[in-house]
Amino acid sequence: MTGAVSDAVSSLLGPDTNNCGSDSGGGGGCGQCMLIHNPDADKNWTAVVMKKKRCNPWDAGCGEGRFHLDVAVPGFDRHEFGTQNHCGKRGTSLSKHQSSICAGSTPRNCDCSGLPESTPAQRLLKDGCKLFKAWGWRSGAPELKWQTVPCPSGFIEQVQFGKAFGPSGPISIIDEWSTGPTIEPTGPTIEPVGPTAGPTNVPPVNVQKPKKWARFINLQSVRLASLGAALIIPGIAVLLLFQRQRRLEKRIQTLEDGQHPDTEALLGNE
């Protein structure tokens, strides 16, 4: 699984690694893994969880040096704790309501049947909800046993940048009906690690930035226009002055040839 951990946990995980993310503000640890075990569960399972995100210190359970882990599980988001749920927006496969269908209930009693399954992405999310329910957590905020472990190489290949995740968040599989990649919700959160809990969740949605070459072209256009104006306008002015001078010379020559008595007055009017 992937999840968000508190700064206290990050300090024990080690530096960012495996091309799976970075967290300069929370002490590193992105791309590092831990093995978790919940003694208060129906099944004696363990799971590998990779840190993909910092658990914001101002969120419930994540500050004041606490050991805290939020695990991303479809259907288990808690809106009152998490502030980054983007489900329901364009490109996601679950609505905000569906992403928290089991929020507040004991995980072992969650009913995942309310999640949709009309697309491959939705079916995968629903299967994830069912699998987590089968683990049988009796509380959403247990105290977990955990230890740092090397991340499985196959897992790294799936979740590193360019695969399941991009620099700004998760990238979904392409549904059968879609015309391109979409952003998959990382869904909910369940509390692990340490004596406190209170889920947070979901990395930010991909936001496309303006292309650098587009900004470069716009800047170059402005520069070229300014340079052209600086060269052309003085050139036109010089040409007009030259033409005026030629007209004056012709008028003077005409006046001299005709011995016109009012040459100075005519030049003044010109």
pLDDT at residue 142 in the model = 93
The overall pTM is greater than 0.75: no
Domains in the chain, number: 2
Domain shared by 242 and 185, yes or no: no
pLDDT (tens digit per residue) in 163-216: 877 766 677 544 433 333 333 333 333 333 333 333 333 333 333 333 443 343
Domain shared by 231 and 172, yes or no: no
Give the separation between CA 192 and CA 36, rounded to whole angstroms: 8
Amino acid at position 178, single letter: S
Domain shared by 55 and 127, yes or no: yes
Domain shared by 47 and 174, yes or no: yes
Domain shared by 181 and 220, yes or no: no
Domain shared by 179 and 53, yes or no: yes
- Domain presence at residue 260: yes
What is residue 107's DSSP assignment?
Answer: G
Domain shared by 111 and 168, yes or no: yes
Domain shared by 166 and 216, yes or no: no
pLDDT (tens digit per residue) in 123-169: 999 999 999 999 999 998 899 999 999 999 999 998 888 887 776 66
Domain shared by 37 and 159, yes or no: yes
On the CB side of 1, how many CA atoms lie within 13 Å of its CA?
29
pLDDT higher than 50, residue 263? no
Q: List CB contacts of 124: < 8 A, sequence separation 6 or more.
A: 173
- Is 135 within 8 Å of 102 (Cβ atoms)? no
Give the separation between CA 1 and CA 155, rounded to whole angstroms: 9
- Domain presence at residue 205: no
Domain shared by 53 and 110, yes or no: yes
Give the separation between CA 130 and CA 132, rounded to whole angstroms: 5
126, 158, 190 - which closes a domain: 190
Domain that holds residue 102: 2-190
Percent of the chain clearing pLDDT 70 (strictly above): 63
Give the separation between CA 243 and CA 251, rounded to whole angstroms: 12
- Is 169 within 8 Å of 205 (Cβ atoms)? yes
Which pLDDT band, with edges at 50, 70 and 90, does 224 fall under?
low
